[in-house]
Amino acid sequence: MADFAATALDKSQNRQTGGAGAMESGAAAQPLVRVEGLAKYFDVSPPLLTRVLEGQKKAIVRAVDGVSFAIPQGKTFSLVGESGCGKSTVARLVVGLYRPTRGHIEFEGTDLASLRTRAQMAPLRKRLQMIFQDPYASLNPRWRVADIIAEPIRAHKLMDDDRGILRRVGELLEQVRLSPRDGEKFPHEFSGGQRQRISIARALASNPEFLVCDEPTSALDVSVQAQILNLMKDLQRELGLTYLFISHDLAVVYHISDYVGVMYLGRLVEWGEAQQVFGSPRHPYTRMLMDAIPDLEMTGRQRIPVAGEVPSPIDPPSGCYFHPRCPFANERCSAESPMAIPVGSGEVACHGVEEGRI
């Protein structure tokens, strides 16, 4: 472990180009990935004619609305929050599947927005890869597994001799604890967990340093989920990978994460080291989420069910988006949107915390 930390630090020192990280207090290493004021709006208005005829207004979904965080090299940063709060949208922005409405994404200090052409993007693209929730939908059923895994190698022209590629595919299959012979088969011959291993092998094919994992185990049974989570941790250690991990399962997030960010209606309400966010959550929404975790220890603790439901992101509440559900809300909360302030190793955006009354 100590060994690994030292190499990780080494690597990052070689690579970093300076610039203060947002995590100075939390981590020694410079961030590999930094997201600053990230926003993505979707226009979901009815067609213009309908709008004019029926007097409807434009409808804009603020799926992500000003999110900032940083992930140190070799660490796992997780995003949690209720359905529709913008987790997947952040993931897709970070890997470049969407263009941000506002804000910046930096990879090793390079602003992704500054890379305009495909040719400029290419060297970076292969260093970030994504793993999706559904291992059934994300593998082409008509391709052999070996071709699925080799696809990024061919696309990025990392190798050109077929024997070499085949050898590399065999290595990758072994890395995800499958057999090189499995390359001959088709996806339907594998179980859900095995397919997710194949997705991981494909993601690793271009030697990425950064993996964005959007609910990678949510479609799997718990026993298979444990296999995949163990594999992901092993790979992180072996290859020094950095993860952005998304899950709605707080226990999974607790297990896998170094840092956790809690999202609500497109905004990050609290983030920090996992031990801190889980051990002493500060934001009232984080506390609510923690209270909603089922109690497997059976201590008889009475859960305080979260009141109410997430409002529509098309028409969010005024001030602090959480105020209609917050037991600590006051007048300021419904008028003024809270700014993030440093708390421990991270940040919290809440008037109550800032005023010292929570």
Partner 1 sequence: MAQTPVLEVRNLRVEFPTRKGTLVAVDDISFHVNEGEVLGVVGESGAGKSMTGTAVINLLEPPGRIGGGEVYLDGRRIDNLPYEQMRRIRGRQIGMVFQDPLTSLNPLYTVGRQLIETIRTHTDLSEQGARKRALELLAEVGIPSAERRIDQYPHQFSGGMRQRVVIALALCVNPRLVIADEPTTALDVSIQAQIIALLKKLCHEHGAAVMLITHDMGVIAETADRVAVMYAGRLAEVGPVQQVIQQAKHPYTEGLMGSIPKVGHHTDRLAQIEGSMPRLTEIPNGCAYHPRCPKAFARCFAERPDLITQGATDVSCWLYDEELQRVEAHG
Chain contacts with ligand SF4 (rule: CB under 6 A): 283-284, 320, 322-323, 326, 328-329, 333, 338, 350-352
| DSSP bridge partners of 191 | none
Residue type, 290: M
Does the footprint of partner 1 cover residue 329 (CB under 8 A)? no
Stretch that binds partner 1, among 54-62, 202-210, 295-303, 330-338 (CB under 8 A): 295-303
Does the footprint of partner 1 cover residue 354 (CB under 8 A)? no
Neighbouring residues of 323: CB distance < 8 A, sequence distance ≥ 6: 317, 329, 333, 334
Tokens, residue 137:
């939908």
Does the footprint of partner 1 cover residue 21 (CB under 8 A)? no
257 binds, among Mg ion, partner 1, ligand SF4, none (CB under 5 to 8 A by kind): none
Does the footprint of ligand ATP cover residue 46 (CB under 6 A)? no
Please, are residues 293 and 254 in contact by the beta-carbon 8 Å criterion? no
Neighbouring residues of 184: CB distance < 8 A, sequence distance ≥ 6: 144, 145, 146
| Closer CB to ligand ATP, 12 or 89, in the complex | 89
Give the full edge-to-edge strand order of the sheet including 259-264. Answer: 128-131, 210-214, 242-246, 76-80, 259-264, 267-273, 346-349, 340-343
Choosing from 225, 236, 242, 286, the residue that interacts with partner 1 (CB under 8 A) is: 225
Does the footprint of partner 1 cover residue 222 (CB under 8 A)? yes
HEC string for 172-186: HHHHCCCCHHHHHCC
Best CA proximity match to 26, nearest among 250, 275, 300, 294? 275
Does the footprint of partner 1 cover residue 303 (CB under 8 A)? yes
| Closer CB to ligand ATP, 81 or 208, in the complex | 81
> Which backbone phi and psi does 77 adopt, to 5 degrees?
-110, 125
Best CA proximity match to 195, nearest among 150, 141, 142, 127? 141
| DSSP bridge partners of 79 | 246, 261
Does the footprint of partner 1 cover residue 223 (CB under 8 A)? yes
Choosing from 8, 27, 35, 61, the residue that interacts with ligand ATP (CB under 6 A) is: 61
Stretch that binds partner 1, among 5-13, 50-58, 70-78, 294-302 (CB under 8 A): 294-302
Does the footprint of ligand ATP cover residue 84 (CB under 6 A)? yes
Q: One symbol per residue from 83 to 122: x for binding partner 1 (CB under 8 A), - otherwise; what is it?
A: x---------------------------------------
End-to-end CA distance of the chain: 37
Does the footprint of ligand ATP cover residue 87 (CB under 6 A)? yes
d(CA 244, CA 87): 10
| Closer CB to ligand SF4, 243 or 322, in the complex | 322
| Closer CB to ligand SF4, 202 or 282, in the complex | 282
| Closer CB to ligand ATP, 90 or 228, in the complex | 90
179 binds, among Mg ion, partner 1, ligand ATP, none (CB under 5 to 8 A by kind): none
Please, are residues 263 and 79 in contact by the beta-carbon 8 Å criterion? yes
Does the footprint of ligand ATP cover residue 86 (CB under 6 A)? yes
Please, are residues 32 and 73 in contact by the beta-carbon 8 Å criterion? yes
d(CA 304, CA 103): 37
In the region spanning residues 197 to 256, those forming contacts with ligand ATP, defined by CB under 6 A, are: 248
Binding site for ligand ATP (CB under 6 A): 42, 44, 61, 63, 81, 83-89, 248, 313
Binding site for partner 1 (CB under 8 A): 82-83, 191-194, 221-227, 229-230, 233, 248-252, 254-255, 278, 288-298, 303, 305-306, 309-310
